[in-house]
């Protein structure tokens, strides 16, 4: 291998690299290809690292490739970026954090231009701020609102920052065609002729490199175990068996063992990992273990159930909370948890197409979670965090900035403004102390005022929430020299659907009956006019 600087590699690594076959090619050939692409230009690399088997394998390949270069050839930076949604499975978070630390420590020791980075979503776009704060329903296959906010955007921002700094970057992924046929098709579609790179599907000046694209799952574990895979004849046919050739089995080139990774996969019934998501073509985690513990895209999280059954019993409260969220996605039960009013203040009726025309039905789509549900779930989330803190003091299910953001959303909720400011009380009830709850820049009122409005509103047949929003509007604009647009804003509040679902449906039915009655009258008049015109023509008038 021309580019291999053997002096920087242990004898066992050199033997492994030069003699092990991966998908029909020696590992040394893959390393040579990786080194060639690395040396071909000045574009820095961004490695998408999820902590799973595929991203760990590509990390090992690149680390070996850089080790094999002479120090003066390691001329451009390699950024290892991991995305943390803040609701990742805690056991995986620890694994990723430890791995990033070990990679960077090993890179400093070996004089490699590798640094590790962790990206998180903006506080306003986290899972809890959207679900508990704004009332977004738990994600489903038809409404997966979380991926772009929590994974794509943070990684895209990191890549865009590097593009602005270096003009162009190469994003290295552990994607394999065998793992995801759809992802393979997308990469192939954007492949650059005569190059190993593909254009990024959405980010300009970013290019994709998938060095282990042709590898099988056995190849992935082979590089992670640093040992041979041999075939043996058994009474049940030909079976693959790991042959532990080296004492270094399971060791990463940067140090540390991959045995933890193997146990994670083994203990979760072989569930797939959640890939580094860089755009909407990347396959979703679904029932993956290397994903969010809150994921409700599938009915049951088999992976987390397996982890609990295999000794991680401390995670059981998380599984129970996740299952409670999943229950809110059951179609028949949505009305228990969600408002009939959407965040725009209106009820959204479903439509049917009849004779090419859309007609509204009595059915409607549900809006955000009711404030009462969000309050109760936050309490249970905090109680679970308090319980799990006995296992790990560093475990944080919801961050303090998120709590402040959720509180802000509640105080300014478009349908159910939380005048009683209940979040600080919920927190104190659970933990017995207060955070630094600064005075919010909203116009909240006291519990007594809210109670008075709730008592008076029914007497005047108006919704208390509407009165609260009108008072909030007036207070927000008081003292301004120009109150431009206040009547328009008042009109929007008054025109919202503040009644119960039954009352709105009844009103809608009456409106439709009136429209039909008016339509029939128009048709009748038109027919009479037509007959009159014919009579006039006949008489020759």
The predicted pLDDT at position 8 comes to 57
Taking 60 as the threshold, does the pLDDT of residue 515 lie above it? no
Mean pLDDT of the chain: 82
Report which of 36, 30, 115, 110 is spatially closest to residue 67, judged by C-alpha positions.
110
Q: Tokens 């046919």, residue?
A: 237
Q: What is the mean pLDDT of residues 319-338?
A: 92
Range list of β-strands (E), 23-61? 25-26, 45-48
pLDDT of residue 288: 45
Residue with the larger pLDDT of the pair 47 and 251: 47
Percent helix, percent strand, percent coil in the chain, to nearest 5:
50, 15, 40
Contacts of 528 (CB under 8 A, 6+ apart): none
Pair 279, 202: CB distance under 8 Å: yes
Homologous superfamily in CATH for domain 11-226: HUPs (3.40.50.620)
Which residues touch 82 (CB under 8 Å, ≥6 apart)?
49, 50, 51, 96, 100, 116, 117, 118, 119, 276
Asked whether 465 and 416 are in contact (CB, 8 A), the reply is: yes
Q: Which helix (H) or strand (E) holds 206?
A: strand 206-209
pLDDT digits (tens, 9 = 90+) for 334-362: 889 998 888 887 877 766 666 666 665 66
Look up residue 498 and give its two tokens: 């503040």
If one counts every other C-beta atom within 10 angstroms of the C-beta of residue 236, the result is 6
How many C-alpha atoms does 32 have within 13 Å on its Cβ side? 10
pLDDT of 5: 53
The 10s digit of each residue's pLDDT in 483-492 is: 778 888 888 8
Would you state the structure tokens that stand for residue 269, as one six-digit string? 């019934």
Lowest-confidence pick of 100-109, 160-169, 517-526: 517-526
Is pLDDT of 286 > 60? no
Dist. CA 420–CA 451, nearest whole Å: 9
Q: Which two tokens stand for residue 538?
A: 């006949």
Task: Tokens for 4, please give them.
Answer: 């291999």
Residue 166 pLDDT > 90? yes
Comparing 175-189, 196-210, 413-427, 499-513, which segment has the lowest mean pLDDT?
499-513
What residues contact residue 513 under an 8 Å CB cut-off, 6+ apart? none
* Beta carbons within 10 angstroms of residue 388's beta carbon: 18
Q: 158 pLDDT band (50/70/90 cuts)?
A: very high
pLDDT at res. 10: 65
Handedness of CA 288, 293, 295, 296 (dihedral sign): positive
DSSP 389-406: TTT-TT--SS-HHHHHHH
Pairwise CA distance, residues 162 & 254, whole Å: 25
Domain edges within the chain: 11-226
How far apart (Å, rounded) are the C-alpha atoms in residues 490 and 173?
52
Mean local confidence (pLDDT), 512-519: 58
Q: Are 406 and 435 in contact (CB under 8 A)?
A: no
The closest of 29, 115, 21, 96 to 65, measured between CA atoms, is 29
> C-alpha distances in angstroms, 117 versus 47, 84, 102, 231, 240?
10, 10, 12, 40, 37
Tokens 């008016």 label which residue?
A: 518
The three-point CA angle 182-183-186 to 5° equals 90
The better pLDDT of the pair 161, 446 is held by: 161
- Specify which residues 228 forms β-bridges with: 243
């Amino acid at each position: 291998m021309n580019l291999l600087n053997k002096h920087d590699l242990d004898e066992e690594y050199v033997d492994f690299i030069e003699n092990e076959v991966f998908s029909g090619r020696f590992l040394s050939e893959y390393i040579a290809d990786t080194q060639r692409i690395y040396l071909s230009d000045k574009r820095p690399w961004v490695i998408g690292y999820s902590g799973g088997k595929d991203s760990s394998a590509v990390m090992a390949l690149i680390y070996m490739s850089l080790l094999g270069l002479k120090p003066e050839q390691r001329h451009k930076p390699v950024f290892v970026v991991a995305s943390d949604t803040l609701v990742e499975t805690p056991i995986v978070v620890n694994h990723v954090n430890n791995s990033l630390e070990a990679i960077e420590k090993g890179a400093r020791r070996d004089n490699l231009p590798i640094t590790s980075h962790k990206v998180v979503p903006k506080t306003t776009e986290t899972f809890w701020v959207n679900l508990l704060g704004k009332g977004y329903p738990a994600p489903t296959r038809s409404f997966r609102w979380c991926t772009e906010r929590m994974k794509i955007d943070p990684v895209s921002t990191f890549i865009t920052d590097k593009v602005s700094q270096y003009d162009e970057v190469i994003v290295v992924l552990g994607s394999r065609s065998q793992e995801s046929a759809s992802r393979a098709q997308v990469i192939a579609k954007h492949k650059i002729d005569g190059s190993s790179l593909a254009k990024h599907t959405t980010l300009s000046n970013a290019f994709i490199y998938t060095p282990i694209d042709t590898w099988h799952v056995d190849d992935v574990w082979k590089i992670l175990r640093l040992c041979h895979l041999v075939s043996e004849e058994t009474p049940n046919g030909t079976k693959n068996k790991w042959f532990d050739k080296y004492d270094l089995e399971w060791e990463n080139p940067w140090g540390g063992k991959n045995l933890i990774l193997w146990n994670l996969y083994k203990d979760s019934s072989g569930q797939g990992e959640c890939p580094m998501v860089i755009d909407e073509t990347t396959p979703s985690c679904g029932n993956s273990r290397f994903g969010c513990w809150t994921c409700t895209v599938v009915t049951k999280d088999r992976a987390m159930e397996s982890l609990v059954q295999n000794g991680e019993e401390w995670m059981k409260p998380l599984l129970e909370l996740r299952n409670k969220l999943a229950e809110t996605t059951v179609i028949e039960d949505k009305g228990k948890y969600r408002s009939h009013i959407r965040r725009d203040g209106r009820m959204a009726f479903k439509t049917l197409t009849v004779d090419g025309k859309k007609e509204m039905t009595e059915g409607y789509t549900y809006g955000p979670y009711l404030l009462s549900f969000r309050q109760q779930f936050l309490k249970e989330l905090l109680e679970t965090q308090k319980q799990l803190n006995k296992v790990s003091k560093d475990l944080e299910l919801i961050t303090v900035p998120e709590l402040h953001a959720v509180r802000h959303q509640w105080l300014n909720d478009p349908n159910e403004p939380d005048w009683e400011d209940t979040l600080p009380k919920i927190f104190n009830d659970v933990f017995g102390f207060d955070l630094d709850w600064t005075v919010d820049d909203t116009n909240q009122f006291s519990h007594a005022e809210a109670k008075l409005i709730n008592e008076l509103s029914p007497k005047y047949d108006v919704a208390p929430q509407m009165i609260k929003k009108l008072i909030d509007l007036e207070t927000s604009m008081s003292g301004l020299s120009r109150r431009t647009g206040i009547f328009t804003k008042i009109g929007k509040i008054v025109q919202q659907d503040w009644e119960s679902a039954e009352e709105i449906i009844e009103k809608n039915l009456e409106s439709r009956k009136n429209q039909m009655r008016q339509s029939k009258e128009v048709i009748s008049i038109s027919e009479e006019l037509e007959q009159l015109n014919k009579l006039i023509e006949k008489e020759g008038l």
